[in-house]
């Protein structure tokens, strides 16, 4: 059997139009009615489209959907989906037993006439996966990367059709769902940086795994989960916030990790002006390379890390950023404020090792320029020697190549790299990899190296290959 041929947007729209069960409305704001247009041009739209509308005027929009602080927002999208879906159900109750109703909506800020605005949008569909079922829902956030308004409208129409097709044809197949979203598109045109699913059509599905799939496929640079484990848009959560980030595996989170965040927060707060000291986001971050084991991502392992950090009242960022320089640039674009990384001394030595930059055309100097050029600070936590827990590695013992010593002095004298002094000496030799081996080997004592809630959850849920 040959490989099934992928359908283009027009063909997908036609297939949906010819499905006698599907019937719904389209409400689009900000970039024309590009999604509905595909269904009208495909033919047979009378069997699918109950209504289309486009409330551009803010007063008109508020009159229909209620007042909203921001018009291109998740709040506005949910208001549109709720209103249109309930109105559809109310007016067409007589055919409910034989119809899978749906309401599609988007609210978008496309390229303006001046051409200097941030182009992005929210879109979603609320639908019945079978007649008379409770509704299911999927919402996504996209960034429009084309330079021309017309191209952005075209891309928006394609991804809107793809979203509807994925919701109707692949709700239970996460990988097919996510791959369908980007068919006939590329990451040069569209970035999908947040997705959330709910309802019986997605029975057993976890929005966090749908978000992880976005990062795995490099459809976005990063996804963020809040302290309740819910997906959030990174730019919305970090905008105008000062970000303190700790990169790690968190497999599992340890007492050392928490002390690093505590100490880093103290240093960072002291370095900020008074009006900024309460606008700090503490953010654990896991890179995709830290999630990959034996060439694949273990989904349950990933969820365990997110759940454990949430139990400690921390959100977590999952990113494709391989280097601190790349991560710094990404965070700076999101926050527009100060950045700080907290790391152990060994991580700093890796950062200053020129061998890690052989594949970069700008080399170590370019990487460090990108890193520190974002008003970034690094707070360094002393660490116990690998072979002698009684000895500490500090900034004074950092091994810096002779050719880099002038640069090292510059970083130190300008307080770009600072040592943490108010740390817990007893925690300086706790490493997640060692704790993990103890958990997997059934060794005693690991419980004292992690927060009590982490120990309880690891043992109670047999996480990370726990052997009691």
Same domain (yes/no): 135, 57: yes
pLDDT at 460: 97
The mean-pLDDT minimum among 84-88, 175-179, 357-361, 425-429 falls in 357-361
Q: What is the mean pLDDT of residues 253-264?
A: 98
1 pLDDT band (50/70/90 cuts)?
Answer: very low
CA distance 368 to 326: 10
Confidence of residue 151 (pLDDT cuts 50, 70, 90): very high
- Considering just the CA atoms, what is the radius of gyration of the chain in Å? 25
Same domain, 444 and 405: yes
Sheet holding 49-53, edge to edge: 49-53, 22-29, 100-109, 120-127, 136-144, 190-198
Least confident piece of the model among 264-268, 357-361, 429-433 = 357-361
As given in the structure block, the two tokens for residue 204 are: 């057993």
CATH of the domain at 43: 3.90.950.20
What is the reported pLDDT for 41? Answer: 97
**pLDDT digits 0-9 by tens, 371-382:** 998 789 999 999
Lowest mean pLDDT among 177-181, 219-223, 296-300: 296-300
Whether the predicted pLDDT of 389 surpasses 70: no
Q: In 43-129, where does DSSP find H-type helix?
A: 58-65, 74-91
298 sits in which H/E element: none
| Residue 3, pLDDT score | 53
Integer Cα distance of 208 and 231 in angstroms: 7
The tally of domains found in the chain comes to 2
Residue 155: strand, helix, or coil:
helix
Contact 328, 262 (CB under 8 A): no
**Residue 178, SS3 per DSSP:** helix
DSSP state for residue 33 in the 8-state scheme: B
**pTM across the whole model:** 0.93
Same domain? 325 vs 379: yes
**226: in domain:** no
**pLDDT of amino acid 430:** 94
Q: How far is CA 14 from CA 41, 44, 447, in A?
A: 9, 7, 58
Please tell me whether residues 210 and 282 are part of one structural domain: no
| Domain extent at residue 57 | 9-219
Tell me: pLDDT of 32 over 90.
no
């Amino acid at each position: 059997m040959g490989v099934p041929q992928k359908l283009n947007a027009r063909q997908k729209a036609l297939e949906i139009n010819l499905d006698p069960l599907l019937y719904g409305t389209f409400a689009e704001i900000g970039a024309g009615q590009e999604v509905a247009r595909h269904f009208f041009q495909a033919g047979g739209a009378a069997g699918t489209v109950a209504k289309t509308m486009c409330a551009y005027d803010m007063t008109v929009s508020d009159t229909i959907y209620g007042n909203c602080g921001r018009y291109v927002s998740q709040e506005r999208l949910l208001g549109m989906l709720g209103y249109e879906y309930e109105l559809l159900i109310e007016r067409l109750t007589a055919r409910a037993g034989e119809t899978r109703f749906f309401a599609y909506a988007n609210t978008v800020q496309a390229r303006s006439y001046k051409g200097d605005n941030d182009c992005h949008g929210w879109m979603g569909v609320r639908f019945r996966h079978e007649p008379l079922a409770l509704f299911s829902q999927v919402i996504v956030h996209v960034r429009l990367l084309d330079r021309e308004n017309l191209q952005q409208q075209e891309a928006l129409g394609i991804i809107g059709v793809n979203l509807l097709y994925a919701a109707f044809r692949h709700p239970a197949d996460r990988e097919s769902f996510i791959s369908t979203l980007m068919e006939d598109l590329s990451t040069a045109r569209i970035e999908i940086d947040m997705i959330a699913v709910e309802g019986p059509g997605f029975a057993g599905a976890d929005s966090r795994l749908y978000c992880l799939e976005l990062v795995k496929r490099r459809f976005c640079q990063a996804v963020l989960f809040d302290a309740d484990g819910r997906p959030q848009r990174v730019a919305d959560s970090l905008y105008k916030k000062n970000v303190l980030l700790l990169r790690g595996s968190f497999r599992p989170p340890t007492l050392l990790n928490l002390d690093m965040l505590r100490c880093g927060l103290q240093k960072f707060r002291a370095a900020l002006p008074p009006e900024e000291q309460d606008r700090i986001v503490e953010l654990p971050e896991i890179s995709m390379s830290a999630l990959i084991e034996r060439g694949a991502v273990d989904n349950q392992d990933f969820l365990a890390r997110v759940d454990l950090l949430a139990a400690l009242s921390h959100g977590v960022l999952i990113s494709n950023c391989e280097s601190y320089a790349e991560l710094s640039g990404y965070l700076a674009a999101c926050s527009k404020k100060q950045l700080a990384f907290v790391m152990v001394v060994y991580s700093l030595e890796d950062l200053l090792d020129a061998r890690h930059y052989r594949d970069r055309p700008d080399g170590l100097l370019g990487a460090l320029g990108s890193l520190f050029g974002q008003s970034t600070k690094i707070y360094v936590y002393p660490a116990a020697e690998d072979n002698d827990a009684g000895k500490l590695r500090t900034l004074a013992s950092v091994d810096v190549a002779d050719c880099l010593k002038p640069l090292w002095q510059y970083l130190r004298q300008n307080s770009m790299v600072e040592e943490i002094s108010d740390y817990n000496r007893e925690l300086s030799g706790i490493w997640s990899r060692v704790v993990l081996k103890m958990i997997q080997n059934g060794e005693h004592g690991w419980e004292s190296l992690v927060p009590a809630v982490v120990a309880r959850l690891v043992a109670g849920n047999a996480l990370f290959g726990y052997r009691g």
